[in-house]
Structure 1
């Protein structure tokens, strides 16, 4: 499967979204533990979005989700294609 074909696949984008969301959850929980030592949802998000940083927080989270999801999903699709070519 070529890169353009992959990008036009609904399955690819579904995988990007799922992996990206899982990445965001894990990343934010790990950062919460690193910063506060416990699950402190209110403090974590209050500090990340205080002083007009809400837009920046949302943009960086979405961008990180998309980039991570695209890289990992591309690797999965590429590996699957290589395995099919070997058969």
Structure 2
């Protein structure tokens, strides 16, 4: 079964080697291992497996509630630069098995 996830904020956690897409679950049940892509792209520039689903405190947002988040593992600066170059906020990820 597919799931959809609306992104509010995206950032990296360099000490963990993770890119974080924080937001809200629109429908379904996002799970580790699902393949994620932007819902609005027919030829996806981003198609990655979900590394984890967790609650995160966005940087600089002390005192606010933690967001549900999807995490994506990166191993090198090229992958991180690619993530940083994409528009994340306000977009929806489609997650499928």
TM-score range normalised by the length of the shorter chain: under 0.3
Structure with more of its chain in helix, by fraction:
1
Calculate the TM-score normalised by the size of structure 1.
0.26
Please state which structure has a larger fraction of its residues in strand: 2
Which structure has more relative contact order (CA 8 Å, sep 6+)? It is 1
